[in-house]
Amino acid sequence: MKRREFITLIGGATVAWPLAAHAQQPAGKLPTIGLLGSGTPTTQGQASAAFSQRLRELAWIEGRTIAIEYRWAEGSKERAAEVAAEFVRLKVDVIITAGTPETAAAKQATSVIPIVFVLAGDPVGSGLVASLPRPGGNVTGLSNQTADTAAKRLGLLHEVLPGLHRLAIVANVDNPITVKEMGEVKVAAGTLGLATIPIEIRRTDDIAPAFAALNDRAEAIYVCTDGLTLSNRVRINTFALVAKLPTMHGNRDLLEGGGLISYGTNISDLFRRAADYVDKILHGAKPSDLPVEQPTKFDLVVNLITAEALGLTVPPTVLARADEVIE
């Protein structure tokens, strides 16, 4: 982590722009963070706890020196827009967003309040920032590179299932980042000689009929990561287990309910690093001057309980590289 950056106020110097809102707030009001998660308190509770812990390390104590308003989109774009509008009404000092649709909703709601995203798949391509080194505007944060690591995930799945021929891909097609990830998976599948079967969902109610329509055509499932699949991870993994289909996911949290393998960014680490952005902004830094950072920690997790239930043997070469083995 980078060290905290302090701005010393000398005499009657004017406070920098990000703190301007404080002058308009009632005396004694704590600086307030609005945290908009893409999933639920259950799915992202550990990550948000890591965020709060890092804030404490930076001397921001929840309820004493800072306030945090937690809200959850549960994979819904409409809900994300509602929360973003609520944060603007509450006049929070910084908005934390977990997910590209959530960040887009916050950016549409305000061009003034600083926004720090934690899980943006393609910040430049999705129009959230002008560039990674110079974001511009009121938005910056951390990319999770979900689409960029799709081929790596598929390669790991193929290593576990060398006889794989037909792959289903579950994706929320209302999210442009998961659509991009699906495209990367299709390209990688083509290089491996795999046929792909898209399972397009837009809401929770789409999941059951989508699996029913799959009708034994696939031998494994790649689940694209976003708030909708995260919120419905147990439902998706249960359907997959009933159908005896191994699953590949984008992070550890998605394995709950019987997922087989996950590979991707350590989400708690990204949330911790987001706290450093908040600290800098509350001490006067402008989001436009804070470069977007890339993930530095990726985790491979293998669920041997699920492997046993599916009658699979995970190669020792994969287990040896795993950061965590669930057994």
Q: Which of 269, 272, 280 is nearest to 31 (CA)?
A: 280
Distance (Å, whole) CA 60 – CA 41 = 21
Distance (Å, whole) CA 252 – CA 141 = 21
**Which residue intervals of the chain bear CATH 3.40.50.2300?**
17-144+266-297, 147-265+299-326
Distance (Å, whole) CA 277 – CA 2 = 10
Q: Residue 202: how many CB atoms within 10 A of its CB?
A: 14
Yes or no: say if 282 and 94 are a contact pair by the CB < 8 Å rule. yes
Q: Domain 17-144+266-297 carries which CATH code?
A: 3.40.50.2300
| Third-level CATH fold of 147-265+299-326 | Rossmann fold (3.40.50)
Distance (Å, whole) CA 282 – CA 52 = 15
Q: C-alpha angle 258/259/264, rounded to 5°?
A: 150
Backbone angles phi, psi at 30, to 5 degrees: -75, 150
HEC letters along 91-132: CCCEEEECCHHHHHHHHHHCCCCCEEEEEECCCCCCCCCCCC
Q: Which two tokens stand for residue 223?
A: 């689940």
Q: C-alpha angle 86/75/279, rounded to 5°?
A: 55
Looking at 26-81, which runs of residues are DSSP E strands?
A: 32-37, 67-72
pLDDT of the chain along its 327 residues, tens only?
Answer: 433 333 333 333 333 333 333 333 444 689 999 999 998 888 888 899 999 999 999 999 999 999 999 999 998 999 999 999 999 999 999 999 999 999 999 999 999 999 999 988 889 988 999 999 999 999 999 998 777 899 999 999 999 999 999 999 999 999 999 999 999 999 999 999 999 999 999 999 999 999 999 988 999 999 999 999 999 999 999 999 999 999 999 999 899 889 999 999 999 999 999 999 999 999 999 999 999 999 989 999 999 999 999 999 999 999 999 999 999
